[in-house]
Chain A
Amino acid sequence: MNRLEVKNLACERGGRLLFSNISFSLNPGAVLVIEGRNGAGKTTLLRMLAGLRSIEDGVVSFDGLSIEQLADAYYQQMAYLGHLNAVKYDLTVSENLKFAQQLSTVVSNIDDALHKVGLDGYQDTLSRHLSAGQKRKLALARLLCIHKRLWILDEPFTSLDKSSIAMFEGLIHEHVSQGGMVIITTHHPINLPDSILLRLTL
């Protein structure tokens, strides 16, 4: 069964203990919201869960294997969206998505993904001509066209307007109802049914 488990995770930065004793498990069909004030280490925690930052203390395991053991196999299951959009300005919208697909194992239709995020008809536009919000949407569309069970989203709603946020919440709901998992940090109150929401405060 797909399941993310975290045991006794701790992180030290610059000689200061950022957080310690973080333990939780996340099952398919659930959204974990990570909350905390600025500087509490939300981004650091997400980067550790994404395998971008080495884990000094504690264990993060997926399907019972630690993500360090899984290495590349973990990335068949996990997609990460950080502060940066990872959008190449000199590539068109569809070229950006196609590149992400070529790096992945299971993919789905680009046009459908663009339709879902409301970027219909932008396929051949150079990404540099998109607005900030549209670039964020393009990054979201990438999540939709590479099939990964676990989404790790760091402030995904930045520079999105209200209706786009609602649209995105709908997509998250759809993802978890199909057996996906989501870990998210956000400053916006998140509008999803309480039955699927878990909260962790740093």
Chain B
Amino acid sequence: MHLRAFGAVIVRDLLLAFRHKSELVNSIAFFILVVSLFPLGVGADIALLRKIAPGVIWVAALLATFLSLDQLFRSDYEDGCLELILMSPHPVSLIVLAKIMAHWMLTGVPLTLIAPLLAGMYGLENSSIAVLMLTLLIGTPILSLIGAIAIALTVGLRKGGVMLALLILPFYVPVLIFATAAIDAQIAGFPVSGQINMLLALLALALTLSPWPTAVALKMSLS
């Protein structure tokens, strides 16, 4: 019974996103744009670009995810569907997890798929690109999970904006560090399993710990 509701929320959110494509495209466009602006700023020296590629791509992915998160509960809050969802006979944290998963499928997955193209423009080798994609695959759901807490706390507020960055971005630091370190290690010819394992541990932690405070925060924002 709970599982059916879980699936229903995911299917509905995906359906809504495909009927309203602009939001889906926005964060991807932002990601591509930011990554393409860097060479214009630092010069087209391919050795330099290769060196900064992991950091630039990951920071851009971080910001793109952050920007897209604002929509996570916003429309459901505005039209009253959030109340409907919270007043269903299912654990709110489960429903929240479904919404976060849908969000990840709509941002994290496309970011991961588009990243090889951008990494190629920065002169990364194929083997490094594979590691980049792996880190994005494991790392982006962590970003959605952590960000959801702060989004839930501020869903009732009109003036999110800059404050939201302070609430969310500091928590992204470990993901950024381990993900870029994995790619750097691969480029330098070292094994990457340590960093990847750290990312997996962070994912497990975020999966278990973040839906609950998100649910509590949502209920609080609605009261």
Contact = CB atoms under 8 A, between A and B. Distances in A.
Interface of A: 47, 50-54, 72-73, 75-76, 78-80, 82-91, 95, 99-100, 102-105
The DSSP consensus for interface residues of chain B is helix
Contacts, number: 73
Given A80-B87, A84-B80, A90-B19, 4 more contacts: A52-B86, A82-B80, A87-B81, A104-B89
Nearest to B18: A90
Given A50-B87, A91-B15, A102-B4, A85 B79 contact: yes
B90 A52 contact: no
B222 interface: yes
A107 to B, nearest CB: 11
B192 interface: no
Contact of A86 (B8, B79, B219): B79
Interface residues of B, number: 26
A87 B15 contact: no
A146 B19 CA distance: 26
Interface in B22-65: none
B121 interface: no
A100 B12 CA distance: 11
A84 B87 contact: no
A52 B12 contact: no
13 contacts: A47-B223, A50-B87, A52-B86, A72-B89, A72-B91, A79-B87, A84-B79, A84-B80, A86-B80, A86-B81, A87-B79, A90-B16, A90-B20
Contacts of A75: 87-89
A84 B83 contact: yes
Contact of A52 (B15, B16, B223): B223
A95 B15 CA distance: 10
A52 B222 contact: yes
Nearest to A77: B89
B5 to A, nearest CB: 5
Contacts of A73: 89
B21 to A, nearest CB: 11
B4 A86 contact: no
B87 A85 contact: no
A17 B20 CA distance: 44
